[in-house]
Amino acid sequence: MRDRRQDLSHFLRTARERKGLTLRAVEQATGVSNAYLSQLEGGKIKQPSPVILHKLSQLYGVSYVDAMRSAGYPVPGENKREQRAARISGPFADLTEEEEAELTEYLAFIRTRRRRGTT
């Protein structure tokens, strides 16, 4: 099993890079120091505060629940449907309206095909 710190560091670094942000840009946007962010992404900080995780999640457009889970925090009231929704929503956080409309249309197509029994 992988170390949770490594999971969190990878989760945060990947989310930041996906947004095209530097550590300094994140520092300016959140008030969290560049040095702290570097230690966090390097796996040296085991469990940042939920407040910091919330700030970073909002800026990166990723699931706060996933960030909390990656940091080893218990996520109360979570069920399979919520887990699935959080997992699926991550890659779609920065869709344009046009992309969202196209994906919604494609999903309707897939569901119609499934109801007809043609996969």
Q: What CATH number is associated with residue 61? A: 1.10.260.40
Task: With 0.85 as the threshold, say if the pTM is over it.
Answer: no
- Give pLDDT tens digits for 14-65: 999 999 999 999 999 999 999 999 999 999 998 999 999 999 999 999 999 8
- Give pLDDT tens digits for 2-25: 444 448 999 999 999 999 999 999
Judge whether 62 lies within some domain: yes
Instruction: Measure the CA–CA gap between 99 and 71, rounded to whole angstroms.
Output: 31
Judge whether 58 lies within some domain: yes
Assign 78 a pLDDT band (cuts: 50, 70, 90).
low
Judge whether 104 lies within some domain: no
Judge whether 108 lies within some domain: no
Judge whether 119 lies within some domain: no
- Owning domain of residue 68: 4-93
> Which are the contacts of 15, defined by CB distance < 8 A and separation ≥ 6?
56, 60, 61, 62
Judge whether 34 lies within some domain: yes
